[in-house]
Every structure is written in C-alpha cells, then in structure tokens.
Amino acid sequence: MSYALLSLPFIAVTIGVTAISAIRPGIRRRLATSAIAAIGLVLLTAVFDNAMIAADLFAYPPQHLLGVFIGRAPIEDFAYPLCAAFLVPAIAALLPVRKNA
C-alpha cells in the first residue's frame, strides 16, 4: 500500500470533522487560524522531518512513495501538519464547553 493511499482515510476524517465543526460558531475564523497554523507547521515539518530522516530515525521505502520530495522528506509527509492544524482545533470546537469556562 502506498503512503498516499494510507493517508487517504485520515485526510478524509480530518475533512469530515472539520466540516462538522461548522455547526459551532466562528468556523471562518477558525479555518483562517488553522491555515496560518498549517503554514507554520508545514515549514517546521520541512525542516525537522528532513533532520529526522537525515538522522536515520526512520525511513520510507521508495516503492511506497509518489516520488516528490522536499529535501529528503516525501511530499506525503506534509499531510500530517495539515491534518494536525485543522483536525485538532475542530475537535476542540466540537467538544462541549463547560458552563463556567
């Protein structure tokens, strides 16, 4: 199974949860903030993913990859920061807020 295929369900979950979080107020602002956070996270990923791969902490067998790399990091790896930036705030928005908060 390729990395991209593996990532698909997780990206789908992220999109779904983010879409559902529209029922909570402030979705536009949340999406905008998530996008800014995503940019920062992607930049950090580009730096540290390369560092971690260069340190041989983990490796990606090339037969599973699309073949597009940012340095040493496969392009698929950047699904992580994107999902993180959108999914976690969406989850937080969907969780019930305590009355006294």
Partner 1 sequence: MACATPGRLHRSHRRDRERRPAPRRHDRDGRPRHPHHHGGRTRRGVELADGRALRAGTVVSTADLHHTESALLAPEERSYPEKWWDKREPSPGALLLLLGVRGELPSSRTTPPVQRGLAGELRRGLRRASAHSRPGVAVRLPSQRDGSRRRPGGGRRTSSCSCRYPRTPRGGAEAKTAGATPPSSVPRTPSSPRSPDGAASRISRNGSSSAARSPGRLRSRLPRVARKLARPRAHAASERDVPPPQPSKRVGRAVVRGVIRAPRHRPAHVPHLRELVAKGLRGDTSPGPLPEPSGRRTDVRGLYLAAILLSTAGVLALDLRLRLALRPAPLRTLAATALGTAFFLAWDLAGIAAGVFVKGDSPLWSASTSHPPPPRGARLPRLPLLPRPRPHRCRGACRAPERRRGAGA
- 73 is an interface residue for partner 1 by CB under 8 A: no
Binder of partner 1 out of 18, 41, 73, 78 (CB under 8 A): 41
Burial class of residue 7, CB neighbours in 10 A (0-12, 13-18, 19+): middle
Q: How many CB atoms lie within 10 A of CB 91?
A: 14
Binder of partner 1 out of 15, 46, 70, 91 (CB under 8 A): 91
Report how far apart the first and last C-alpha atoms of the chain are (Å, whole number). 45
The amino acid occupying position 27 is I
Q: How many CB atoms lie within 10 A of CB 71?
A: 12
Q: What is the DSSP letter of 72?
A: T
In angstroms, what is the minimal distance from the CB of 23 to partner 1? 14
In angstroms, what is the minimal distance from the CB of 20 to partner 1? 13
Residues that bind partner 1 (CB under 8 A): 1-3, 6-7, 10, 13, 26, 29-30, 33-34, 36-37, 40-41, 44, 48, 52-53, 55-61, 64, 80-81, 83-85, 87-89, 91-93, 95-98, 101
